[in-house]
Amino acid sequence: MDLQGTKEARTQEEGADGPLDAYGAGGGRSNDYHKNERRDSHSHDNPSNVHPLRRRQSPFTYPPGTRPSAASGSTAPPRREPSPSPQAVVIPEALGLSSRDQRILFKARRNPPVTKKTLSELDLPCIMSNINLRMDANFDRDLHFKPDLDGEKGKRKRKEATDYWGSMATEIGIYAYHAATSGDAEDQAQGTSQRTFEPRLPTMFETLQEVIKTLVPERDHPSVMQNLEVPLLMQQIRKGVLDMVALATWMAALLKTHCAPMRDEWADRMVEQITEGSQSQDPKEIVNGLQTLFAILEAMKLDVANHQIRTFRVLLIEDTVPFLQEYFEGKISRGNFHVESARLWYLAARDRAQEEDEQRSPTTASQSDDGLKPLEALFRGIADQLLQFTPPDEFPETFLFDSDRLWQLRSTIQNLINLEIAWYIFESYVHKRSRYLSARVETYSTFCTRIWSLMEDGMDAEGQPISGIDEDGPEYRGGARWIQNMRSIALEIARFACAACCLDSVVADEVITPIEAALEWHLSNETDLFHYFQNAMREKILTATLSSACKYLPLSPLAICESQRTTPSATNTGPLIPAASSNSNSNSNTSSSTISGTGNGTATTSQSSAPQQYDIERIGMRLAHLGILHWRVWAPLLYMRDKIADMDSEPVAFV
């Protein structure tokens, strides 16, 4: 397997004229693995599969005077049922199949859930041409393929697989009945299209043969062809003499020769299931063995693909910028990707950055070199979208393959702001009671941990909402989860307030009511308090981002990727947990703003805590990594194309 797959993949991509879509984009090109979805080949009824010229054709019209009508007594000819093919199998009435079994027998998909086509996206040329994977390789060291079974799409795929294997169990039972009764001639003669079905077993064996041949060396192909000769297997099935146990044993031995040792247990289980099913004449148990067999094949292909990702990871990362530039140049030149609005967005961000610097005093103005100003404008523009109260409709088109990472950064940043608001409400209540926090740093750390643990309710291990949560769509600011857990968060704040004020351990309504009202108001409205923390967060994030960007500019993409493993300089070395800094003077005996539910309030200047500084440095490193790669691709193509002639005098690196 050579490295020419990279150039070949580019050629394949450049020949595609479809629109660009990121992961999960509706109506776009998608796959079965790594968060992607492929539209199944049997779904021919989707309107997107209809040629546009056919869709624009006007409906058929009858010549004048010949249109049939009810008055003339004309009726449409009865619809004729399709005639069964020569391979059609009669459904024996003696089996007494339920209506559900018959429906699945007719309606289930024709191909197994795992086919050579569905696995083809795990081939090396497809891996090398997968732009999403190339981008993800820069940000995730543990990147690997896995079946996409999440969400509605995953539910649909599982349902299709269940129906397919259910129909296969029924089909095996029908073949066994015909073999035992020697194919009742009278039943065959009376068979009609309503009592026959098109068998799936031949296609399953053909698929099995094709997939196994892609997973074993060529020297084993004659053995595969000999043992999986479809006409011979079907003849043996019709006569009831197929030795499924011997076939399963042979396949297990073949697969165990070439798969990882960790898959051997699966192969043995497959043989046991088929053996038990054959001995007990239970088609469902035989089908369980077939399911295990196809699961082994999929796992083997995934193992190969993930090994290739690890092997070619360095190549994928180092080739990111030239690959993307070549890819987008082709798309733009053919008019398949429109980025002028993104250029206008950048120019507007650059103008805002220039105006902002002009309005600042010399001591507070940006100290960046003039050569870094264009890159700094990019970071300021994207930071504004990450920090704004309402989620942006979308990020610029040039961030198409980074949109998921930007939404995640936005969610983290907004959670930081929300936690600061919650801490502010707590301190305001304490100071209103003329109390003093004796162990403020420890209290703050515990407070953030407790509030964030409440936010993790309804989320999976990867921080994503569990199915059923946020069903109306993603709330990227994080407000949906905050509102959903409003009562619990307010109760936790009230508990901290009671402990700080030496009140009764049982939280009274007079404590929780104003706290809950204030929390709901400030989280649901773009208040002055939000603007204060937004502006403070913006300065901190931009400072951290530009600091990291200056370090990354002379580095290669691989070096930048490896640098992300370095722990930031802050003393906190734990996981990235949104934390909030204090906003009130700890020695103050009075609140700096009202605690009422409608007060906007103002916050006083405060020192950032070590946990928050750690989080901000992590955000800055992530945003700088993303921005530097983006800048190297798009600065010469779009943002700075009018100044390419002056690039030699600019210290900004494009490559």
Q: Give, to the nearest 10 degrees, the angle between helix 403-432 and helix 528-552.
A: 130
Residue 83 is encoded by which pair of tokens? 């005639």
> Which amino acid is present at 287?
V
DSSP-based three-state secondary structure for 34: coil
Q: In the prediction, which pLDDT does 88 show?
A: 85
Q: What local confidence, expressed as pLDDT, does residue 496 receive?
A: 87
User: What are the angstrom distances between the C-alpha of 144 and each of 130, 137, 307, 597?
Assistant: 13, 9, 9, 48
649, 344, 403, 127 alpha-carbon torsion, rounded to 10°: -60
What's the rounded Cα separation, in Å, for the pair 604 and 472?
37
Given this model, what pLDDT does residue 146 score?
86
Q: Write a three-state SS string for 281-346.
A: CCHHHHHHHHHHHHHHHHHHHHHHHHHHHHHCHHHHHHCHHHHHHHHHHHHHHCCCCCCHHHHHHH
Q: What residue spans define the domains of the chain? A: 5-9+86-316, 324-649
Whole-number pLDDT of residue 227: 95
* Cα–Cα–Cα angle for 427, 429, 433, rounded to 5 degrees: 110
CA dihedral 204, 209, 215, 217 (to 10 degrees): 170
What is the per-residue pLDDT for 82? Answer: 56
Total residues belonging to the chain: 655
Q: Which of 614, 618, 546 is nearest to 580 (CA)?
A: 614
Do residues 397 and 19 touch, judged by C-beta distance below 8 A?
no
Blockwise average pLDDT, block size 10, the chain, 655 residues = 39 43 37 46 36 35 41 48 72 87 91 93 90 92 84 88 95 92 55 72 96 94 95 94 95 92 93 95 95 95 93 93 93 92 94 87 61 91 94 92 93 91 90 77 86 69 45 48 85 86 73 89 90 94 94 94 72 38 36 38 41 81 96 93 55 46
pLDDT at residue number 505: 63
Q: Closest Cα partner for 190 from 66, 84, 64?
A: 84
Check residue 640 and give its pLDDT.
87
What's the pLDDT score for residue 43?
37
